[in-house]
Structure 1
């Protein structure tokens, strides 16, 4: 990796964290200083900062261990990986029954982040790929997840950026978005008609954790001319898929 924009302090912190992960509750400040080559004063500042951030904890006897921050980060990482794995397993049947591609995504502030996709054997390929981001207000999965927030929280997400127009059908105002989210809350699923790409529509349902909180959403997209024929089946299949994935975490 190019080191032009390298941050040495982060590299030093990683060296310390690796040592603590391998030898929890055994190393003191001087041990860490000797093992990493970081001088004592710098190590003191580094550990003090990481302790304040809950990256490390100082224990009796002045030894150090990893802090609870990494427990939460680790859980979030493995939750995402586990959810993607289950999606890949369960989505196969959904794709077979619908004849359309299905997708999995999560909300990151005001954006929708695509996590996985199971493609149908059609000549039409969706633009969404894992890692791709789109404004949540313009997508069915995004609206399904935004609907779990308070109106004020939703508006705060777009207070500075406003609404990007992809097609003439994309949400353009706060009032329009809040009205759509109200409909999503009432019926339990979200739809999107030609808001990102003209000629395509989408239906989405949130995936819930064990406490009933949305952690992701699943959807299927199709050409608008197929909607009248497949709407009921699409809603049924996506609701079933969301239910299969819910409560796993």
Structure 2
């Protein structure tokens, strides 16, 4: 989709936010000065993705998916602000890239990326989404969330082979997650990006729910040589942030 189309899609959601009782395609088209054909196509796509819905009067309104995204955005702002000083210290200690993410539906959303002076190239950036099953951060969520929620998410996932090391067998993945839960941290061994090794840990709130995850990522050789040190500092950081959000161990 082009930048122009993306802007129009945002304009549609913006205009509908001012009309809680909804608008027809023709009304949206007139208010935004857009061709009715392109307005129809954009609204159809937004509706299929859950960002809009059509009521019984054939009018379009903002969809429920935006509620979830808005909630995640508000929570992300708080946890990001609390965590940033700790993430910077962790990066300085490790001299590797440090990430933070939150959960949005069945995907991972990156909300922070702290680069070191020797960071390796990675496609992960704040605002980007990635699967849960093949990332260290995603596996931290899956390993430490309630079993019922984990099984619901796993049942709805398609485990695609992204790199030669991606785990696509559900039994193996479940066994891996149990190990991660017992040891207190998760690992992505070049499963989402070749050359990238990641160690991740969960952030808990006062209700003992996983509200975020943090990770240290770098080349496998560097990360494994300093394995014990990386795990120690990562867990120390995740525990300190969890305490700030009200978690009592």
So what's the TM-score if we normalise by structure 1?
0.69
- Displacement of 1:115 in angstroms is 0.8
Q: Is the 8 A contact 1:193 1:200 kept in 2?
A: yes
From 2, 9, 12, give the equivalent of 2:19.
12
Aligned partners of 2:87 and 2:21: how far apart in 1? 37
Kept in 2, the 8 Å contact 1:203–1:221? The answer is yes
1:76 Cα offset (Å)? 5.6
Question: Which of 184, 205, 210 is the aligned partner of 1:209?
Answer: 205
1:106 to 91, 102, 108: 102
Partners of 2:10 and 2:216 lie apart in 1 by 42
Indicate conservation of the 8 Å contact 1:112/1:133, yes or no: yes
SS in structure 1 of the partner of residue 20 of structure 2: helix
Note the C-alpha offset of 1:158: 4.2
Residue among 154, 177, 184 paired with 1:188: 184
> Structure 1 residue 106: deviation in Å?
1.2
List alignment gaps of at least 5 residues for structure 1: 16-52, 54-69
What RMSD in Å do the two structures reach over aligned CA positions? 3.1
Answer yes or no: is the 8 Å Cα contact 1:212–1:247 preserved in 2. Answer: no
The CA deviation string for residues 91-145 of structure 1, in whole angstroms up to 9 with x for no partner, is 1211111010100001223211111111111152332111111110101111111
Distance 1:75 1:6 in 2: 21
Q: Distance between the aligned counterparts of 2:78 and 2:148, measured in 1?
A: 32
For 1:136 and 1:180, how far apart are their aligned partners in 2? Answer: 13
Please list every run of 5 or more consecutive structure 2 residues that lacks an aligned counterpart in the other structure: 1-6, 23-63
Which residue of 231, 236, 246 maps to 2:242?
246
Please give the secondary structure, in 2, of the residue aligned with 1:141.
helix
Q: Give, in angstroms, the shift of residue 157 of structure 1.
A: 2.2
Q: Output the TM-score relative to the length of structure 2.
A: 0.69
Q: Aligned partners of 1:73, 1:134: CA distance in 2, in Å? A: 15
Task: Kindly indicate whether residue 147 of structure 2 is the aligned counterpart of residue 141 of structure 1.
Answer: no
SS at match of 1:241: helix
Q: Larger deviation: 83-92 or 197-206?
A: 83-92
Q: Structure 1 residues 229 and 93, CA, compared in 2 at 3 Å: closer, same or farther? A: same
Matches within 5 A, 1:63-212: 77-122=73-118, 124-212=120-208
Shift of 1:164: 1.6
Pairs aligned (count): 198
Tell me by how many angstroms 1:6 deviates.
3.1
Query: Structure 1, residues 49-107: CA drift from partner, whole Å, max 9, x if none?
Result: xxxx9xxxxxxxxxxxxxxxx9x998764432121122222212111110101000012
**Highest CA radius of gyration, 1 or 2?**
1
